[in-house]
Amino acid sequence: MEVHGTVYYETQRPPEVPAYVKNHGLLPQHELQTLLRKAKLFIGFGFPYEGPAPLEAIANGCIYLQPKFHPPHSSLNHEFFRGKPTSREVSSQHPYAEQYIGRPHVMTVDYNNSQEFDTAIREIMSTKVEPYLPYEYTCEGMLERVHAYIQHQDFCAPEAPFPPANSSSSKLGLSSPGSPGPQFVLLPNSSALTWAPNANTPHAWPPLSCLRLLASQEGQSCVEACQRANLVCEPALFRFINNKDALRGLEVQCEVVEAEVNHLFPAFSVLRRECSLQKDPLLYSCAGHSPKFRRLCPCRDYRRGQVALCRDCL
């Protein structure tokens, strides 16, 4: 295959690319689109993360080849994230393309494994794909998303506390023994819990009907725990599972329950039988994990092609 690039360079300075690369320099958008329509393969070199170029390439009929990161890039091991207040881990250059588009349009391989890389290239050479644009990136998909956000959320009214102030609960948000019925019930043929149909259902966005409560494994983030169940983690639903009812529904044995400030909470330790709730709602986070804790994860379902919305969100 011919290798083309769009590396910017100044006239007095030659581009720092190998001689076998046909470099087009900085192209206007319409010329870049034309070049992409002629290409078969678009290669990611690992940076920048989650840029628009791979999506444009896929929409113009290219196959996108990108590196898988072992271990995932995070603030613990990569300079780009170092010092940033996040526990997020990036598994590839474009995690969205990896998870929600996938083959045949996207191939994610270990660039350090020459055999895996060679196999991917040979597969790409023998594969023909049509241009593909995920529904959520179309004009209609964007308008559908904005409509749902505007119609179902009130940005002028303060968010009501949970549990309600007039309910019988402790200051930690724990249901009293006399409260009527459990808030969570086990889904059939599943280890996930859902909001009980006969429980008092406060107004929420996304709606509580999409909530799937899971406990992660030790050393597993809620992002990963939800993904393994073909769900997504929804931070807006953390406030509904940050209570003793959620722990009771998961049959967690707690010798002590405390509210603490830690971005991993709510979570529990199986060995020590200690359970911890989140004291600061601003620290609710789907990212982050610890070998000491199993996290309580507010997962939700999603619409195919519109990941930002749950199935009951329209």
User: Are the C-beta atoms of residues 196 and 181 closer than 8 Å to each other?
Assistant: yes
Side-chain half-sphere exposure of 116, counting CA atoms within 13 A: 11
User: Are the C-beta atoms of residues 60 and 33 closer than 8 Å to each other?
Assistant: yes
Tokens 């994990």: give the residue: 289
Side-chain half-sphere exposure of 114, counting CA atoms within 13 A: 0
Question: What pLDDT sits at residue 164?
Answer: 61
Reference 66, options 38, 103, 37; nearest CA is: 103
User: Are the C-beta atoms of residues 299 and 232 closer than 8 Å to each other?
Assistant: yes
Q: Which residues of the chain have pLDDT under 70?
A: 163-181
Tokens 């991993």: give the residue: 264
Where do runs of H (alpha helix) occur along the chain?
29-38, 53-59, 95-96, 114-125, 139-152, 222-228, 244-249
User: Are the C-beta atoms of residues 68 and 107 closer than 8 Å to each other?
Assistant: no
Residues β-bridged to residue 68: 92
Do 203 and 125 share a structural domain? no
Do 194 and 282 share a structural domain? yes
- Does the residue 145 lie in any domain? no
- Does the residue 101 lie in any domain? yes
Cis peptide preceding 131, ω within 30 of 0 = no
Q: Per residue in 171-228, pLDDT tens?
A: 444 444 444 457 899 988 888 999 988 878 888 899 999 999 999 999 999 999 999 9
Q: Per residue in 52-75, pLDDT tens?
A: 999 999 999 999 999 999 999 999
CA distance 204 to 153: 9
Do 101 and 49 share a structural domain? yes
CA distance 270 to 258: 15
CA distance 32 to 198: 56
Secondary-structure percent of the chain, ordered helix, strand, coil, rounded to 5:
25, 20, 55
Do 201 and 129 share a structural domain? no
Question: What pLDDT sits at residue 179?
Answer: 47
Question: What pLDDT sits at residue 118?
Answer: 97
pTM of the model: 0.86
Q: How many degrees, rounded to 5, is the angle at CA 299 between CA 133 and CA 201?
A: 115
User: Are the C-beta atoms of residues 63 and 41 closer than 8 Å to each other?
Assistant: yes
Where does a domain end: 76, 108, 139?
Answer: 139
CA distance 140 to 199: 36
Residues β-bridged to residue 44: none
Do 62 and 10 share a structural domain? yes
Reference 42, options 134, 168, 129, 152; nearest CA is: 129
Do 242 and 189 share a structural domain? yes
Do 11 and 129 share a structural domain? yes
CA distance 275 to 145: 37
Looking at the 3D structure of the chain, how many domains does it have? 2
Do 130 and 8 share a structural domain? yes
Pairing status of strand 184-186 against strand 256-260:
unpaired
Question: What pLDDT sits at residue 272?
Answer: 87
- Does the residue 149 lie in any domain? no
- Does the residue 168 lie in any domain? no
Residue 275 belongs to domain spanning: 182-300
Do 187 and 69 share a structural domain? no
Question: What pLDDT sits at residue 176?
Answer: 43
- Does the residue 125 lie in any domain? yes
Do 186 and 68 share a structural domain? no
User: Are the C-beta atoms of residues 165 and 231 closer than 8 Å to each other?
Assistant: no
